[in-house]
Amino acid sequence: MVYDAVIIGGGACGLMCSAQAGLLGKRTLLLERNDKLGAKILISGGGRCNFTNLHTSPTNFISENPNFLHSVFSRWSVEDTLSFFRCYGGIIGEEKTLGQLFPKSNKAKDVVSMFSKLMYETHQDVWLQTEVRSVEKLDGGYSVHLLRQGVEERLHCSKLVIASGGLPVGKLGASDLALRVARHFGLSVVPTAPALVPLTITGKDADWYASLAGNSIFARVFNSKISFEENILFTHWGLSGPAILQISSYWRPGDTFTIDLLPKFRLEELIKTERSLGGKRTVGQLLQGYFTRKFVDALAKFIPVHVKIASLSKVDAKLIIDVVHRFPVKPAGDKGYDKAEVMRGGVSTTELNAGTLESKRYPGLYFGGEAVDITGWLGGFNFQWAWSSGHAIAQDL
Ligand SMILES: Cc1cc2nc3c(=O)[nH]c(=O)nc-3n(C[C@H](O)[C@H](O)[C@H](O)COP(=O)(O)OP(=O)(O)OC[C@H]3O[C@@H](n4cnc5c(N)ncnc54)[C@H](O)[C@@H]3O)c2cc1C
Q: Work out the burial of residue 140: count CB atoms within 10 Å of its CB; fewer than 13 is exposed, 13-18 middle, 19 or more buried.
A: exposed
pLDDT given at position 127: 98
| Fold of domain 199-334 | Elongation Factor Tu (Ef-tu); domain 3 (2.40.30)
pLDDT for 1 equals 72
* pLDDT bracket for residue 375 (50, 70, 90): very high
Domains of the chain, by residue range, sit at 5-193+342-396, 199-334
Mind listing the pLDDT tens digit for each residue in 54-108? 999 999 999 999 999 999 999 999 999 999 999 999 999 999 999 999 999 999 9
Question: pLDDT, tens digit, for every residue of 192-238?
Answer: 999 999 999 999 999 999 999 999 999 999 999 999 999 999 999 99
pLDDT given for residue 6 in this prediction: 98
The CATH classification of domain 5-193+342-396, taken from the options 3.40.50.800, 2.60.40.1930, 3.40.50.150, 3.50.50.60:
3.50.50.60
Taking the centre of ligand 1 as the mean of its atom positions, its distance from the CA of residue 151, in whole angstroms, is: 25
Whether 373 contacts 346, CB under 8 Å: yes
Residues above pLDDT 70, as percent of the chain: 100
155: confidence class by pLDDT, cuts 50, 70, 90:
very high
Q: Answer whether residue 135 shows pLDDT above 90.
A: yes
Distance 165 CA to ligand 1 centre (A): 5
Please state the separation of Cα 162 from the chain's center in Å: 19
- Kindly state the DSSP code that residue 355 receives in the 8-state scheme: T
Other Cβ atoms less than 10 A from the Cβ of 65: the count is: 15
Residues with CB under 6 A from ligand 1: 8-14, 31-34, 39-40, 43-45, 49-50, 131-132, 163-165, 168-169, 173, 175, 177, 341-342, 369-370, 380-383, 386
Mean pLDDT for 229-256 is: 97
Distance (angstroms) between ligand 1 centre and the Cα of 122 equals: 23
Nearest in space to 389 (alpha carbons), one of 42, 68, 67, 5: 68
Instruction: Give the phi and the psi of residue 57 in degrees, each rounded to 5.
Output: -155, 165
Q: Cα separation of 189 and 373, whole Å?
A: 8
Tell me, in angstroms, the distance from the centre of ligand 1 to residue 370's CA: 7
* Average pLDDT across the chain, whole number: 97
Atom of ligand 1 nearest to the CA of 173: 47
Grade residue 164 by pLDDT with cuts at 50, 70 and 90.
very high
Identify the band that residue 283 occupies on the pLDDT scale cut at 50, 70 and 90. Answer: very high
Please determine, for residue 330, whether its predicted confidence score (pLDDT) is greater than 90: yes
Indicate the top mutation candidate among 6, 16, 32, 40 to test ligand 1's pocket, ranked by most ligand atoms within 8 A of CB. 40
Q: What is the mean pLDDT of the segment spanning 21-34?
A: 98
Reply yes or no on whether the pLDDT at 152 is more than 90: yes
Residue 149 has pLDDT above 90, yes or no: no
333-334, strands of its sheet edge to edge: 327-329, 257-260, 216-222, 227-234, 238-240, 199-200, 333-334
Q: Whose CA is nearest to atom 31 of ligand 1?
A: 11
Q: How far, in Å, is the centroid of ligand 1 from the Cα of 35? A: 15
Asked whether residue 360 carries a pLDDT value surpassing 90, the answer given is yes
Strands 333-334 and 199-200: what pairing? antiparallel
pLDDT over threshold 90, residue 324: yes
Q: For ligand 1, what atom is nearest to the CA of residue 40?
A: 17
